[in-house]
Structure 1
Amino acid sequence: MWGLNSSRFHEVVNISIDDAQMRIFTRIASMCYMSNGTTNSSYSRSSSQIISTRSSFPFSHTRNRFFGVGCNNDARIMTFDVNMGCDSFCYLDYKPTDGDCTGDGCCQISIPTRTYIYSISVRNYTIRRNDTEAEYPCDFAFVAADDFYNFSVADLKGYDLRGTNLVPSVLDWSVGNQTCEEAVKESTTFLCGTNSFCKNPNYDWTGYLCHCSPGYRGNAYLPNGCQDIDECDNPELNDCKGQCINKPGSYSCSSQNSSAINVGIGVGLAMFVVIIGSTFLFWSLRKRKLIKLKEKFFEQNGGFLLQQLVEQKELTSHMIKIFTAEELQNATKNYDDSLVAGRGGYGTVYKGTLPDGSLVAIKKSKQTDIDIDEAQVKQFISEVVILCQVNNRNIVHMLGCCLETPSPILVYEFVSNGTLFEHLHDKE
């Protein structure tokens, strides 16, 4: 994979067959003001890099982030049809802190989809004096794996980024230029081996992926690369109480005294099946009714319109999350009164905890029988989209919403510094 900026191949760090991804090193765009008042780039106040891979290896827009690091720094990323970026500042009232990359010394955004060549640039808004070395001499811009970079204030004070000009980036990959449905018809060129199955990538790109079938492990792209897993060799892979018998792709269990207890087990099993069958039928009908009701509320509250905006790439999963009713019930212990954070004319705000441990404020409306028309639905979804894209330290950030209830439930970041009313009226 040739980089236009350096006329050399990108170094591959590793390749994952299961995830259909690989990591490569890409260059950092940097600009530093030296102690003698000059810069180390070919431009007086800006620096840029062009990064390229082959078109069959796009940069993963779900596993990479674009970072800008510096004080009064304008970092930008450009593709064939997208020009976007972020700014980072160092104001007197807002000091950069370790781990915070929301605009103070560090900023970050998602990269565009379908990106296999991009240009990154960095420039500084400040006119610096030639006779003084700045406290924060360098500005950086780079695309890196989302699990690689964690901002440190020390990154602002050196003449390089932690002693390197390379960072790891993640590429998606697939094989062929057809979908699974098309490729499987061409037996002579189909690349998935025996004991495997074909899967289309979950990103908008050509080609297909091969995975070993359940019960097999190995390289699905080789003719006989998927080998049977012997579940009997590993107690964690089987639940047999007696003898474990390995089978291709699975296993079975046998008992030494099975003939003596078969009759008793048969009678008990028959009664058990009747009871379980009746219970299962009851709960299946109940569950189906609840699903239909949730689907009705989801459509009524504009859920399909919001999904369409996400699919059309007007939003990304980093901007908004569509929560299920069960997720918010679990986060609030079924809306326990002990988790009430506030009440108002609109409804009740609950303090919730998501599975990853983050705290959220869940705003639940009192109204349960709102009759809204299509125009109101579009206006509501438009406001949700705008609020989820707002990123300002003085405004509580909306994370998403739940549309499976009679009235939409809104989810915000949890702020523990009290209410606006308390700050306005508490004299102390």
Structure 2
Amino acid sequence: MLLLITLVLFALRFTPTAMAKTANPGCRTQCGNLTIEYPFGIDKGCSIDESFDLTCNLTSNPPKLFIGSGNIEIYSMSGHEMKISNSIAFRCYNESGRATYELIAWTNLETTPFTFSQKNKFTVIGCDDSALITGRNGLDFTSGCLGLCSKAGDVPVGYCSGNGCCQTSIPKGLKFYNVSLGSFYNHARVFSFNPCGFAFLGEEESFTFGGVPDLSNMDLDIKIDNNLPIVVDWVIGDNRNCTQATECKGNSFCEDEDTGGYRCICNNGYQGNPYLDPGCEDINECEDKSNISCYGICINTPGSYNCTCLKGYTGDGKIKDDCRPDAKDSKFPAVIFSVALVFGLLAILSGITGIFLGIRKRKLIKLREKFFEQNGGVFMKQKLKATGTSEAVTMFTTEQLRRATNNYSEERIVGRGGYGVVYKGFLPDNRVVAIKKSKIVDGSQSEQFINEVLILTQVIHRNVVKLLGCCLEEEVPVLVYEFISNNTLFYHIHHKSGGMSWLSWENRLRVASEAASALAYLHSQATMPIIHRDVKSANILLDENYTTKISDFGASRLVPLDHDQVTTLVQGTLGYLDPEYFHTSQLTDKSDVYSFGMVLAELITGKKPLCVSRINEEKNLATYFIKSMKENRFFQIVEPRVLSEGTLDQLQAVAELIKRCLDLLGENRPTMREVAMELEGLRKFTTHPWVKQQTPEESRSLIIEGEQSDLYDVPLIPYSTNEWESYSGHPKVEVEYGGTPPFEVFSLK
């Protein structure tokens, strides 16, 4: 009888009804070598809803599995993650630069529960290629990447450095994307080893750049398609959260996804399908002791297990060699032994704690010394001592800055940039400061922070943000500035509700004059000339009195006194970047003049330098401004308030100054000193408003025309790379060629 019961229990244990369920009764669970688990299904009524329907193509050998009824093939399924087929954009050229093959790439998951995982990276392969990826993740998303190189010897193997291969991340929750590919010279200069350009989205860890062999492979798209899947995640209920969840069955819990929807997950110690009754089942840990620590008798419990010593032994069966024979015959008093054991353990514990704390303190000191040296602290001290500015910079400790920012609390963040995060801090002497900390650990970023320190220590000007000190004991270097409380000029120009009330024509001229004065000082009056290299309205701050402060010198360069130009890696912000510098890599003070000309154009028109929502030539403000000047319709693009407050002579003079600053040849542009003197002269020049010099009909016509459209409320419209290049003359990306990281993606949001 006992043998019969044992056999019955053994049979029940391994019958399908007793094993963990993967699908509803009567539903197929296999398509080729893939297992389909609920909430998905390949038969009618077998999935949780139609968005989880899959199609199994039995005509293929072996059968292939597809999402819905579409043509997106599923390669593997694991938990809440799948790997699907890829889509590659490519364009090939002949020796004369004519495109011979071209294909765009896109994938749409908007009607499915899937989103593209952040395990994917957007990749561009080519030496003369720029690519744009647009999509939606609740909001419109646009990003891009740029691959450049001039000779095969510059191309690395095994990783993307920007030379021949560029990679960038995608946002979380992306459900649709479209890829377009463009070229600067149609591969005519690199055709001998790179006839084609490629752009695609794919799993980062599955991709390894092969260097020149990949660049010369015209069939690289086939290799990518066969070896590089796209990873997608899935959730239940796109528009619901766990408070509305009814799908999670027994022994499981619900977990919200921050981009919408939720997942059901088995509790610790349980496994199975949390979406099917009766839910997750207990794992019998005692069946496979390789995953647990048990050196005695293992007893399975719901969600866990117990481990006891063998009979005749006492101790903890989960600890090796802890089970000891019973001491029943011992005559040593148990109470004395217990007390002695407790005090002995306490003494040992106290000693170990003291040793541990001492070791930890020494390790912390060594770690900070390592960070100090790694972040260039020794080099910085030498430079500061050589320039005689060591006393002007305070070296803050890690503890001081962590207390000042409440341990770098998210609530203290006041700004985010391409290279760092800015926190508002409060020092013990009640000074309010801005603390800039790099977001990533990268040698090139540390170099930029140190560069900013060395430059700012030589600058003493009321219109340049003041550096108070730095800290090099953190994993990434930290800079401490005076706190500028009234936001950026970009904010005041382009956010009506926040900044338009004070931004009169008189104040615009004052801000422009102060900024020009600061830049002129950097170019011609500093100990060694300084080129800012990233002049833009977002780097012009305003304090509580609306006084101008030039900031962000991370990209700036010192110019030796016997040089008038410096050859550098191209870096700047799209829309403000000097075209001559972009094409020649020759940085001069006239590069700052061009960027400042764009700021002046921004001030006088109220328009952003680049805006895809504007039509035709209006997308690129520089092109549109110069064309309006040539066609004598400049006053039609002037911001209405400027039109009503400025004088004819002032507006015309500023327009001519902008035109000269935006000249494509740097030698034809004025110096920043000349710009500053001209703006200061315009501030003192007064006459009647220009509209009073026109006839009533002319005045009324111009003012009405200026007020027909809202200059600040512009929607974001995706566009192709070719359209972008036709308006801007260069790709929509903030770039630094050849560095690490080589590219910083510039996205409009």
TM range (shorter): 0.5 to 0.7
Give the residue type in structure 2 aligned to 1:170: V
Q: Structure 1 residue 244 and structure 2 residue 298: aligned?
A: yes
Equivalent residue in structure 2 for 1:178, among 240, 245, 269 = 240
Match of 2:146 in 1: 87
> Would you say the 8 A contact 1:94–1:104 is kept in 2?
no
The separation in 1 between residues aligned to 2:420 and 2:481, in whole angstroms, is 27
- Describe how 1:299-314 pairs up with structure 2 within 5 A: 300-301=404-405, 303-304=408-409, 308=413
SS in 2 for 1:232: helix
Match of 1:411 in 2: none
TM-aligned CA deviation for residue 31 of structure 1: 0.8
> Would you say the 8 A contact 1:138–1:160 is kept in 2?
no
The separation in 2 between residues aligned to 1:111 and 1:309, in whole angstroms, is 24
TM-aligned CA deviation for residue 371 of structure 1: 9.0
The separation in 2 between residues aligned to 1:384 and 1:271, in whole angstroms, is 61
Pick the structure with greater CA Rg.
2
> Would you say the 8 A contact 1:88–1:106 is kept in 2?
yes
Give the residue type in structure 2 aligned to 1:179: N
Equivalent residue in structure 2 for 1:12, among 74, 85, 89 = 74
The separation in 2 between residues aligned to 1:386 and 1:8, in whole angstroms, is 48
Match of 2:230 in 1: 169
The 1:171–1:193 alpha-carbon spacing in structure 2 relative to 1, beyond 3 Å, is same
Match of 1:142 in 2: 200
The 1:222–1:394 alpha-carbon spacing in structure 2 relative to 1, beyond 3 Å, is same
TM-score (norm: length of structure 1)? 0.61
Match of 1:125 in 2: 184
The separation in 1 between residues aligned to 2:412 and 2:403, in whole angstroms, is 11
Equivalent residue in structure 2 for 1:211, among 265, 279, 304 = 265
The separation in 2 between residues aligned to 1:294 and 1:208, in whole angstroms, is 39
SS in 1 for 2:209: coil
Match of 2:125 in 1: 69
Count of paired positions: 328
The separation in 1 between residues aligned to 2:76 and 2:206, in whole angstroms, is 14
Give the residue type in structure 1 aligned to 2:234: W
Question: Structure 1: which 5+ residue stretches go unaligned?
Answer: 185-189, 324-344, 347-361, 399-428
The separation in 2 between residues aligned to 1:316 and 1:218, in whole angstroms, is 44
The separation in 2 between residues aligned to 1:217 and 1:74, in whole angstroms, is 47
SS in 2 for 1:82: strand
Structure with the largest fraction of helix: 2
The 1:58–1:128 alpha-carbon spacing in structure 2 relative to 1, beyond 3 Å, is closer
Name the stretch that deviates more: 94-103 or 152-161: 94-103
TM-aligned CA deviation for residue 219 of structure 1: 2.5
TM-aligned CA deviation for residue 214 of structure 1: 1.4
TM-aligned CA deviation for residue 24 of structure 1: 0.9
> Would you say the 8 A contact 1:36–1:133 is kept in 2?
no
Give the residue type in structure 2 aligned to 1:140: F
SS in 2 for 1:147: helix
> Would you say the 8 A contact 1:34–1:133 is kept in 2?
yes
Match of 2:532 in 1: none
TM-aligned CA deviation for residue 363 of structure 1: 3.9
TM-aligned CA deviation for residue 313 of structure 1: 10
Match of 2:696 in 1: none
SS in 2 for 1:223: coil
Q: Which whole-Å deviations, capped at 9, do the CAs of 1:189-212 have from their partners, x for residues lacking one?
A: x122211122222xx311111222
Q: Which whole-Å deviations, capped at 9, do the CAs of 1:15-73 have from their partners, x for residues lacking one?
A: 221xx22111121001112579753446xxxx42222113531212x211100111210
The separation in 1 between residues aligned to 2:194 and 2:203, in whole angstroms, is 25
Question: Structure 2: which 5+ residue stretches go unaligned?
Answer: 1-50, 55-68, 315-325, 329-333, 365-396, 422-436, 442-452, 455-470, 488-540, 542-550, 557-571, 573-733, 743-749
The separation in 2 between residues aligned to 1:183 and 1:385, in whole angstroms, is 48
> Would you say the 8 A contact 1:309–1:315 is kept in 2?
no
SS in 1 for 2:116: coil
TM-aligned CA deviation for residue 270 of structure 1: 4.9
Q: Structure 1 residue 116 and structure 2 residue 175: aligned?
A: yes
> Would you say the 8 A contact 2:88–2:221 is kept in 1?
no
Q: Which whole-Å deviations, capped at 9, do the CAs of 1:378-418 have from their partners, x for residues lacking one?
A: 99xx959989x9974666769xxxxxxxxxxxxxxxxxxxx
The separation in 2 between residues aligned to 1:35 and 1:393, in whole angstroms, is 26
The separation in 1 between residues aligned to 2:184 and 2:236, in whole angstroms, is 45
> Would you say the 8 A contact 1:49–1:121 is kept in 2?
yes
Match of 1:57 in 2: 114
TM-aligned CA deviation for residue 232 of structure 1: 2.0
The 1:268–1:171 alpha-carbon spacing in structure 2 relative to 1, beyond 3 Å, is farther
Q: Structure 1 residue 26 and structure 2 residue 86: aligned?
A: yes
Match of 1:329 in 2: none
The 1:237–1:151 alpha-carbon spacing in structure 2 relative to 1, beyond 3 Å, is closer
Q: Which whole-Å deviations, capped at 9, do the CAs of 1:140-187 have from their partners, x for residues lacking one?
A: 00001111211112111121216346341111211123222x135xxx
Match of 2:312 in 1: 257
> Would you say the 8 A contact 1:192–1:223 is kept in 2?
no
> Would you say the 8 A contact 1:231–1:238 is kept in 2?
yes
TM-aligned CA deviation for residue 253 of structure 1: 2.1
Q: Which whole-Å deviations, capped at 9, do the CAs of 1:347-370 have from their partners, x for residues lacking one?
A: xxxxxxxxxxxxxxx9439xxxx9
Q: Cα RMSD between the aligned structures?
A: 4.8
Give the residue type in structure 2 aligned to 1:206: G
Give the residue type in structure 2 aligned to 1:364: E
TM-aligned CA deviation for residue 138 of structure 1: 0.9
SS in 2 for 1:142: strand
TM-aligned CA deviation for residue 243 of structure 1: 1.5
- Describe how 1:261-280 pairs up with structure 2 within 5 A: 261=327, 270-271=342-343
The 1:133–1:91 alpha-carbon spacing in structure 2 relative to 1, beyond 3 Å, is closer
TM-aligned CA deviation for residue 229 of structure 1: 1.9
The separation in 1 between residues aligned to 2:270 and 2:327, in whole angstroms, is 34
Match of 2:288 in 1: 234
> Would you say the 8 A contact 2:93–2:186 is kept in 1?
no
Q: Which whole-Å deviations, capped at 9, do the CAs of 1:203-252 have from their partners, x for residues lacking one?
A: x3111112221112233222234222222223333333321211111111
The separation in 1 between residues aligned to 2:736 and 2:97, in whole angstroms, is 34
> Would you say the 8 A contact 2:295–2:307 is kept in 1?
yes
TM-aligned CA deviation for residue 271 of structure 1: 4.5
- Describe how 1:41-56 pairs up with structure 2 within 5 A: 41=101, 47-54=103-110, 56=113
The separation in 2 between residues aligned to 1:307 and 1:170, in whole angstroms, is 35
> Would you say the 8 A contact 1:298–1:304 is kept in 2?
no
The separation in 1 between residues aligned to 2:341 and 2:301, in whole angstroms, is 26
SS in 2 for 1:84: strand
TM-aligned CA deviation for residue 9 of structure 1: 2.3
The 1:241–1:51 alpha-carbon spacing in structure 2 relative to 1, beyond 3 Å, is closer
SS in 2 for 1:298: helix
SS in 2 for 1:101: coil
The separation in 2 between residues aligned to 1:272 and 1:215, in whole angstroms, is 36
> Would you say the 8 A contact 1:70–1:136 is kept in 2?
yes
TM-aligned CA deviation for residue 104 of structure 1: 0.9
Match of 1:160 in 2: 219
